[in-house]
Amino acid sequence: MAREVSESCIDSLLTEMVSSYCNRFDANKPELAGRRIEAIGYQVGHQLAERYTMERPRFSDHLEAIKFICKDFWSEVFKKQIDNLKTNHRGTFVLQDNKFRWLARMSVDPSIENVDLSQDTSALAENKATQAMGMHLYFPCGIIRGALSNLGIPCAVSADISNLPACSFVVRIKA
């Protein structure tokens, strides 16, 4: 049987990784912090793609590889599949997870969230919260990009959380 750890391990590790980069290593440089967190995800995705494709035939096209990410890969990592896959047939794919586990479970670090929560700036506060959540999404975006690039599909990946708790990952394949 495959080795397991408690889910709290991964949750607290990811929470701490994001807060370390945002508050200590790259404080006030959110873009740099984001790039570095994405790079961590990229390495993980690259390695997971290698592991999860071990006993299966090679994919014959991009769509097949993307479907693999939506089904098998997502199930291994999140215990559920992507709920909805859309494409414009010109190299852009949107993968929607209706209840993205890492946003649902992860406590967004209050020290990022509570920067300057004055009463009269609730819009700003909301903005801060969104920003903090955004920091948590660099990692899964990196995972997807790392996995696809190892499968021979160079791409850019971004996340859209305008419909929480749903989260959409937008994959743009580089021509």
Partner 1 sequence: MIACVAVIGHQNNPLYIQSFTEADDALKLHHIVHCSLDVVEERVNNPKKSGPTLNETFLGLLYPTENYKVYGYLTNTKVKFILVTTDLDVRDADVRNFFRRFHAAYVDAVSNPFHVPGKKITSKTFAERVSNIVKSFGLSSAG
Partner 2 sequence: MAPPGAPRSGDAIFASVERVNAELFTLTYGAIVRQLLTDLEEVEEVNKQLDQMGYNIGIRLVDEFLAKSNVTRCVDFRETAEVIAKVGFKMFLGVSASVTNWDADGTCCSIILEDNPLVDFVELPDTCQGLYYCNILSGVIRGALEMVSMKTEVTWARDMLRGDDAFELQVKLLKQVPEEYPYKDDE
Give contact residues for partner 2 (rule: CB under 8 A): 2-10, 12-17, 19-20, 24-25, 36, 39-41, 43-44, 47-48, 51, 76-77, 79
Contact letters (x/-) for partner 1, 57-96, by CB under 8 A? Answer: xxxx------------------------------------
By beta-carbon proximity to partner 1, the closer residue of 47 and 131 is 47
CA 3 and chain centroid, separation: 23
**Shortest Cβ distance from residue 70 to partner 2 (Å)?**
17
Instruction: Indicate the Cα dihedral angle 31, 37, 43, 48, nearest 10°.
Output: -130
Phi and psi at residue 86, to the nearest 5°: -125, 155
How far, in Å, CA of 114 to CA of 118, rounded?
9
Q: Is 56 in the site for partner 1 (CB under 8 A)?
A: yes
| 56 binding partner (options partner 1, partner 2, none; Cβ < 5 to 8 Å by kind) | partner 1
**Shortest Cβ distance from residue 150 to partner 1 (Å)?**
5
Neighbouring CB atoms inside 10 A of 65's CB total: 21
Say if CB 137 and CB 159 are below 8 A apart: yes
Say if CB 145 and CB 45 are below 8 A apart: yes
Residues that bind partner 1 (CB under 8 A): 43, 46-47, 49-51, 53-60, 150-152
